[in-house]
Structures are given as structure tokens and as C-alpha cells.
Chain A
Amino acid sequence: MANSETPLLDELEKGKWPSFVKDLKQAAGKNPMARDLIHQLELSYKDRIGHWKHGGIVGVKGYGSGVIGRYSDRPDLFPNVQAFHTMRVNHPTGWFYKTDTLRKLCDIWDKHGSGLTNMHGSTGDAILLGTTTDHLQSCYDDLSNAGFDLGGSGSALRTPSACVGPARCEWACIDSLDLCYNLTMTYQDQMHRPMFPYKFKIKISACANDCVAAIARSDLSVIGTWKDDIQVDQKEVLAYASSINIQKEVCDLCPTRCMEWNGKELKIYDEDCTRCMHCINLMPKALRPGKERGASILVGGKAPIVRGALLSWVIVPFIKLEPPYDELKNLIERIQDWWDENAKSRERLGELIQRLGMRVFLKAVDLPAVPQMVKAPRTNPYVFFWPEDLKKEVK
């Protein structure tokens, strides 16, 4: 038997966890692009370096985003991945699929591309991994005719994403799926035609467990919450007492210590509760979010590039969110206008607020300062006042 041409990658076919190398080989059995990809990857494993050149600008008619250009730096060795572009396909919100839809996607991708995908990319899109420049438009046409559209890339609104929400979760305080789909449809132009200083991400979690990591990685984070009291079913609380230690696991771990358990009844001092979800997570049958539901809006979250990672900051502690979501959309547009007008190239919203100040941002987007926005008031005395706050000089 001939020696394998990919001894390093072959090693990763072993082991219990599903192997991406098996998938690469499966695609390589049918497709010359996938065949060259696996050999180029083997070379990377040998050289310990990537073999992709900087992307070029490629796309489909009418769009400035959704396609990422990619070229091999060794086309002499791997001519079939000389051009190997990615297409980002906007996923159905919540990543729900019927198999006939998935099969259509597979057929289109076998016709036009490498047969390799990411289900899904980090932003949320279904990623079609690798096709040639001359296939981009025809692949897009087939996708569009089958009911798919591309997601965002570059200095555009990136594909918004949402947690599973009321489709399956009893903790959903907002309809994260409907809101996400509504915003996606409203802002198609911003997604497909990059017009911003840099990327802009919107992520929506229907409760503070934040299953889509909205606070950590989106410029505009929507977190479902409530304002009134936690709903308590004392009978079910008592039932949980046989499976968990309510004092130790629930009351003692409450960050505000707002609960008392006397062995029969759970008393919650709701005015002290910060709605962190811990007690509800532990006793979903007994405790439910309150009835006055809405969301907190935070802005500025991002990964390190350029000036360091940020977690989103509270700018609206509570907002009701019901269709057609005009109040939220109006706020998003005020924020984006200010950002677009003031940001330098490749400056994210959070970095711009850092540079110009939260005070300036709040005034520009017409939001009142409230204590829920800060962990603590400032400690330095370098306080700015608006000119209108000062008495005019009297002569």
C-alpha cells in the first residue's frame, strides 16, 4: 500500500470526537477543490503556518458583502484552490431547519463549491467554504431562487443572531426570534452594502443567561429581563427541596442575598433582586421571570482589535419590546448615525464612546443618564459641564 499523502491529518481521524478530517476526505472523494484543500492543510501542519493569501475583493451583483475572497499562496502546488472564496449564507433565525431546506443548500453547494461548510460560523451564518470566482454569481442566483440570502461582512451590519427564545425556552422575556428576524429584514441594505466605519453586530438573548454571548461580542446587545417580582410557586419550591439544598445552592449563592428559606417557604425580597437568573435556573418549575417583561439595551461590546476587548455597557435599563419595535429601531438608527458621523475608519462603537465619552454619546442619542448605567460614579474630579449649565459672566 502506498504511503498516505496526509500522515499528519490522518492522525486526527483517530479518537472519539467527530473528526473534521473525515469530512474533508469525504468531500475530497467527490471534489478536486476539497482534494487540494486537504493537501494544502497537510502542508500547513508540516510548516506550522497558514497558506492563504490576503483576501481580494470579490462579490455578487448589487452586494458589497457576503463573500470573502480567499486565494492560496501555493497555487503552483494546489491549483484547484487558487481561488477558494467563502459565501456567508444568512441562517434561519435560531438556527432552526427543516431537512428539505438543508438538502437544497447541500445540492447548491455541491453544484458550485467544495462541498465543505461550517454549520455555523461564529457570527451565525451558514458558511459555504470555498468556490471559484466564476461560480459566485451563479451560486448566489441558485441560493436566492431557493429562498436563501447572504449575510453581512466587512464594514456592514453583520448578520444579527438570537437565542432559541420562546420557541423552546421558558425563560424568554422577549421574542428574541421575531425581533431578530424583524431587524434582519428591516436592515437588509445595511447588511449587504457596507456603509459604516467598521462592522456593527446586533445580538439578542431573551434572558440574562445570554446564550448568544451578546454582551461579550455585539455592538448592540439586547438582553431580555423583567421589572416586577419573580413568580413563585411555593408548592414546587418545596418539591425541589428533595433534590437540591435550597439554602446552600439557591439562597447562599444569590448575589444580592435577597432570599430566605425556612424549610417550607421561599421569601424573596424582590427590591434587592438584580434578576441574575441563578435561582430560576436551578428551580425552573418553581420560579419564573416576572410578568412585566422587556429588555435591557447595552452597547459597545467587541473583541480586542483595535484598542482592546470591551463588554457592552447599559444604556437603556428597561424597554418594552413589541412589534413593530419602532422605539428600538429609532434608537439603533440614532446610534448608528452618531457613530457613522464621528468614528474613524475601523473604529467600533465602543471605542468611539471611549474616545469621545459616554456623556457626549448620551447627549447625541438623547438618552438620560441613570444610575443603572454605572458600577459606581466617577472617582476623579475632572468633571465637564455643558455651557448651558454655567452662569453667564455678568459685567
Chain B
Amino acid sequence: MAARTDIGPPNYKTMLPPVIERNYGDWLYHEILKPGVLMHVSKSGETLYSVRAGSPRLISTDHIREICDIAEKYCDGYLRFTSRHNIEFLLDDKDRVEPLIAELKDRGYPVGGTGHSISNIVHTQGWVHCHTPATDASGPVKALMDEIYDHFVEAKLPAHVRIALACCLNMCGAVHCSDIAILGIHRTVPKTDNSRVPNVCEIPSTVASCPTGAIRGDMKNKTVTVNEEKCMYCGNCYTVCPAMPIADPDNDGISIWVGGKVSNARSAPMFSKLAIPFLPNNPPRWPEVVNAVKNIIEVYASHARKHERVGEWIERVGWERFFSLTGIPFTDQHIDDFDLATETFRTSAQFKWR
């Protein structure tokens, strides 16, 4: 049969469990019965249970079939995924909730990620499948989640902590508004391959791709030159011109950003700000990165007030105290020098010493 085009995705209405069909738009309230278990109650009095389980996101078809087996056994075949890559098993029979959780635990699925916990880490492809990464994605995420596992299956933090990882500045997944963002960065200029540029790159678009105007056309040699003082290693030129590779095993690595949020609850959405400019790529377990993030989580957990997100806590106590409490050194890299940098400079005589 000839394939049709533009049919769009399967209609979500055909994927909804009957309890949702019956109560669509009529939900009254919800309770978190325990970490990973939500109970939604409808005006009709009907109840929906959602059991949330962690996933590595990069999953095999056999793993998906196993998830299907579980959903068929306990949930009449209905499930959903969350915006943070978790799996949610949806059921209306309370008696099946505990047996479902027991089977998930038997099979090694962590149940949690609700309330004041650390939910799954939103992340990108990394070395598994991307052409511009400055680090891996799945590896650092796995290494970190192993260490902060208890924060997924429990919910004992002051507020929820959203962690995200992007393996380069392109930020598939836009990690820049996370409580803690882990961002792969390059630190050296692209290495222009003058023999390939004339064949594979369009020079005007390569020049135009640079946000700082560091690239100039060399029309005589049909190539480009990079002003090393202006380049800030974004890798944008490489996206446009494959003959300007920027990856550098010894100098690529990870930066850590803190205090962002996307929710409007209490404070407005905000960007994450730089905490640690550079940590090395040290596979397979990235110990420097894992320890740095754990330290930030622990200091936050012991100092923030209830309901305070990481960014709200830092705004209350001040950035100078964030650095002193975490022991993270403050460097000249922390001071912005891009557009609008001056908006972040302190213009008052108000600051703290302790």
C-alpha cells in the first residue's frame, strides 16, 4: 500500500484509558499517596492512580515491550511518558497499585520522581548519536542518578529539584532554566580545514553564523579565518560548515549552572546561572561532575526553607553566600561579558560577608 503523507500523529483520544475518557476535564484534586504514586479524584468520585517509574530514556524495543507487558498486566494496556522521560502506569483499580509497584521494584524500575524529589534528568544524545557534543549525555546522567537515587525514590528535599543535561550549547531540551544544569562546553577555537572548506562550506553563511563576528572570509583562498580572541567556542560555525570541527578531547568538558526554574509558582521563571565554569570529561563515571552536583544538592537541602527552589534559596541568601556555603571558588569566568552583561553587575553597596 502506498504510504499516505501528512496524516499526523495517532489521535491521543484513542490512547486514553476509559477512566480518563469518562472524567476528562472533571478532575477535582489530587494527592501524592507516596513517592511515585499520584491519586486524582474526579467530580464523579472516580479515581485514577498514576505510578511513576524512572527510565534511562535510551531504551531498546525489548525494554518497551517489557513496559507493555507490565501495563497490560496491571493497567489494561494504558500508560504514558512524562516530559521528563519517566513512565507512568495509569490504572483505576486501587488493589492493583501495590502489586504493580512490587513487580516494578522486582524488575529494577525505580518508583518515585513526584513531589519534593529529584525527578529524571532531562538530557540529550551525547556521544551516542550527536555530531557536536562536548561530552556524553547518557553516561553522566547514569553516573549521577546512581548517586542521587534516594532523592528519586524519596521526596525529602525542600522543594523539587529539576536537573537537566545538554551535551553542547545547542541545548536540545533547553536546560538553561533548571535548578541544576549540566552543560557540555568547548574551550578551544574550531580547527579550520582549509582543504575542505572550499568544497563543503558556503563562506557567507559560515561568516554570518558567528555571534561575535570572529569569522572572516578569505576569498583568495576560498576559506575562512577565525579571530581567536573573539571566538567564544559556541560551535555554531561547525553546524553550518562541517570543515570547522571544534571537539577537543583535552579541553572539552562540563560546566554547572544553578538556580533556574520554569514554573511561575511564587517567583517568575528564571535562567540558571554559572556555578562551575569547567570540569573535565572523565568517563565512564565523571566523578568530578557527580561530586560537584551532589555537593550543591546537599548544601541546598540543609539550608533552604520549605518550598524554596534552588534559585529562590540563592536569591534569599545571596550569591556570595552560595559560593561560601558550597565552597565553590568564584572566578572571573563567573562575570558575564556577553550582551547585557552589565545588567548582572552589582550597583548597590548592599552585600554580605558571612
A interface residues, Cβ below 8 angstroms from B: 8-9, 11-12, 14-21, 23-24, 26-27, 30, 34, 37, 41, 44-45, 47-55, 61-63, 70, 84, 86, 89-103, 105-106, 109-110, 115-124, 129-130, 140-141, 143-145, 147-149, 161, 163-164, 166-170, 172, 175, 177, 181, 184-185, 188-189, 192, 208-213, 215-217, 223, 249, 253-255, 275-278, 281-282, 284-285, 301-309, 311, 344-346
Contact of B265 with A277 in the complex, beta carbons under 8 Å: yes
Closest 6 CB pairs of A and B: A122-B173, A15-B146, A217-B174, A54-B242, A303-B171, A17-B145
- B14, CB-defined interface residue at 8 Å: yes
A343 to chain B, nearest CB (A): 12
**How far apart are the CA atoms of A169 and B42 in the complex, in Å?**
10
Given the contacts A99-B68, A276-B264, A17 and B77 also touching, CB distance less than 8 Å: no
Q: Contact: A255 with B211, CB < 8 Å?
A: no
Q: Is the CB of B3 within 8 A of A117?
A: no
Most chain A beta-carbon neighbours within 10 Å: one of B28, B50, B59, B285: B59
Whether A94 pairs with B12 at a CB distance below 8 angstroms is yes
Contact status A95-B269, CB under 8 Å: no
CA distance A98 to B72 in the complex (A): 9
B57 cross-chain contacts in A, Cβ below 8 A: 20, 118-120
> If A16-B110, A255-B266 touch, does A50 touch B81 (CB 8 Å cutoff)?
no
Interchain nearest-CB distance for B23 vs A (Å) = 9
CA–CA, A189 to B40, complex, Å? 38
- Looking at the complex, which one of A53, A143, A149 makes contact with B242 (CB distance below 8 Å)? A53
Complex alpha-carbon distance, A275 and B28, angstroms:
18
Query: What residues of A have a CB within 8 angstroms of the CB of B4 in the complex?
Result: 144
A18 touches B108 (CB 8 A): yes
Number of interface residues of B (CB under 8 A): 116
Determine if B192 is an interface residue (Cβ-Cβ < 8 Å). no
**A27, A130, A210, A285: the one within 8 Å of B28 (CB):** A285
Give B287 Cβ to nearest chain A Cβ, in Å: 12
Contact (A208, B265) CB under 8 Å given A17-B149, A115-B62, A188-B6: yes
User: From residue B203, how far is it (CB to closest CB) to chain A in Å?
Assistant: 14
Residue in A closest to B204 when the chains form the complex, CB atoms? A345
Q: A169 contacts which chain B residues (CB < 8 A)?
A: 27, 30, 40
A-B contact pairs, 7 of them (CB 8 A): A53-B131, A98-B15, A164-B80, A189-B6, A212-B83, A285-B29, A308-B339
- Asked whether, in the complex, the Cβ of A93 is within 8 Å of the Cβ of B25, the reply is no
Chain B residue at smallest Cβ distance from A13: B142
Shortest B20–chain A CB gap in Å is 5
B240 / chain A contacts, CB cutoff of 8 Å: 346
User: Which residues of A lie under 8 Å from residue B242 when comparing CB positions?
Assistant: 53-54
A17 touches B269 (CB 8 A): no
The complex places the Cα of A169 from the Cα of B131 at a distance, in Å, of 38
List residues of B (139-193) whose CB comes within 8 Å of A's CBs. 139, 142-143, 145-146, 149, 152, 166, 169-174, 176-177
| Chain A residues near B176 (CB-CB < 8 A) | 216, 303-304, 309
| Cβ–Cβ < 8 Å partners of A181 in chain B | 8-9, 11-12
- Confirm or deny: B349 has a beta carbon within 8 angstroms of a beta carbon on chain A: no
Q: Using Cβ atoms and an 8 Å threshold, which residues of chain A touch B295?
A: none
How far is A45 from B110 in the complex, measured between Cα atoms in Å?
26
Structural contact, A23 and B58, CB atoms closer than 8 A: yes
Could you tell me the distance between the alpha carbons of A54 and B196 in the complex, rounded to whole angstroms?
13
Q: With both chains docked as a complex, state the minimum distance between the C-beta of A162 and any C-beta of chain B, in angstroms.
A: 9
Could you tell me the distance between the alpha carbons of A277 and B265 in the complex, rounded to whole angstroms?
5
Identify A23's interface contact among B16, B56, B87, CB under 8 A. Answer: B56
Name the interface residues of B210-228: CB closer than 8 Å to any CB of A: 211
Complex CA–CA separation, A61 to B2 (angstroms):
11
- Chain A residues contacting B307 (CB-CB under 8 Å) are 249, 253, 278, 282
Contacts of B3 in A (CB 8 A): 140-141, 143-145
Chain A residue with the shortest CB-CB distance to B8: A185
The reply to whether B130 and A276 contact each other, CB–CB distance below 8 Å, is: no
Measured in the bound complex, the distance between the Cα atoms of B50 and A49 in whole Å is 40
Contact yes or no, A216 B59, CB < 8 A: no
Does B331 sit at the interface, judged by CB under 8 A?
A: no
A258 to B339, CA, bound (A): 36
Stretch at the interface among B93-101, B120-128, B296-304, B319-327: B120-128
Tell me if B329 is interfacial: C-beta within 8 Å of chain A.
Answer: no
Query: What residues of A have a CB within 8 angstroms of the CB of B281 in the complex?
Result: 48
- CB-defined interface of B70-86 with A at 8 Å, one 1/0 digit per residue? 01100001111111010
Which residue of the partner chain, among B63, B110, B271, contacts A26 with CB atoms under 8 Å? B63
Contact of A311 among B48, B80, B271 (CB under 8 A): B271
**Nearest residue in B to A168 (C-beta to C-beta)?**
B40
Chain B residues lying within 8 Å of A16, measured Cβ to Cβ, are 110, 146, 149
Check if B77 sits within 8 Å of A100, measured CB to CB.
Answer: yes
Q: Which residue on chain B has the smallest CB distance to residue A105?
A: B64
B350 within 8 A of A: no
- Tell which of A61, A124, A284 has the most Cβ of chain B within 10 Å: A284
Of all chain B residues, which has the CB nearest A23? B60
> Contact at B80–A95, with CB atoms within 8 Å?
yes
Chain A contacts for B339, CB-based, 8 A? 307-308
Task: List, in ascending order, chain B residues with CB within 8 A of A212's CB.
Answer: 83
| A118/B5 in contact, CB under 8 A | no
Closest CB of chain A to B188's CB: distance in Å? Answer: 12
Residues of B within 8 A of A41 (CB): 127-128
Chain B contacts for A37, CB-based, 8 A = 128
Contact between chains at B27 and A48 (CB < 8 Å): no
A119, A144, A284: most-surrounded residue (chain B CB, <10 A) = A119
Query: Which residue of chain B has its CB nearest to the CB of A85?
Result: B129
A119 touches B55 (CB 8 A): yes
Contacts of A188 in B (CB 8 A): 6, 8
B9 in contact with A19 (CB, 8 Å): no
Cβ of A189: which chain B residues have Cβ within 8 Å of it?
6
A168 pairs with B48, CB closer than 8 A: yes
B270 contacts across to A, CB distance below 8 A: 311
* Chain A residues within 8 Å of B110, by CB: 16-18
Question: Does B142 lie within 8 Å of A20, measured CB to CB?
Answer: yes
Q: How far is the CB of A188 from chain B (nearest CB, A)?
A: 4
* B51 lies within 8 A of chain A by Cβ: no
Contact indicator B15/A92 (Cβ below 8 Å)? yes
- Contact of B10 (CB < 8 Å), options: A50, A147, A167, A216: A147
* B169 surroundings in chain A (CB, below 8 A): 303-305
Chain B: minimal CB distance from A151 (Å): 8
- Are B142 and A17 in contact (CB-based, < 8 A)? yes
Alpha-carbon distance A19/B205, docked complex (angstroms):
41
A128 and B320 CA atoms in complex are apart in Å by: 45
Chain A positions within 8 Å of B61 at CB level:
27, 106, 109-110, 115-117
Name, among A84, A118, A306, the residue most crowded by chain B CB atoms within 10 Å (CB to CB). A118
Q: A216-B262, A275-B264 are in contact. List 8 more A-B contacts (CB 8 A).
A: A18-B109, A53-B131, A110-B61, A144-B4, A185-B8, A192-B5, A303-B176, A309-B174
